[in-house]
Amino acid sequence: MAFPAAPPGTANSFFDRTGTHRFENPDHGGRKYLPQVNEWSVGTITWVCERSGGFDHLPQWDAYPVWRGEELKQFHASGQSKQRAKEDAAKKMATSGHC
């Protein structure tokens, strides 16, 4: 899937960005990070989510975001469900200061 290029005059790498977006804190009544990050990205983010082990009845999942084709493995997270792994990765991304 191709993503739009970064707008002219902006950084190409996620880590070159200076974030200005403020996310709601789920611990203080805000929405969870995953829907907020997805909304912030305006369709430029996908999620890699793979089973990494665990028992059949208790699987372990790994997830990380891909922003405009850039794999952001620094925000890797694990969880006992796909949703939990993606939520934890989204929190890392949202609190990174680059969004």
The DSSP annotation for 27-64 comes to: GGT---HHHHHHHHHTT-EEEEEEEEEEETTEEEEEEE
**Domain covering 28-94 assigned CATH 3.40.50.300 in the classification:** no
Q: Convert the pLDDT of each residue in 14-38 to its tens digit.
A: 999 999 999 999 999 999 999 999 9
What are the residue boundaries of the structural domains of the chain, listed by start? 28-94
Q: Compute the distance between CA of residue 81 and CA of residue 59 in angstroms, rounded to an integer.
A: 7
Q: Convert the pLDDT of each residue in 33-87 to its tens digit.
A: 999 999 999 999 999 999 999 898 899 999 999 999 999 999 999 999 999 999 9
Q: Which two tokens stand for residue 20?
A: 């200005």
Task: Look at the block and give the residue holding tokens 């699987």.
Answer: 59
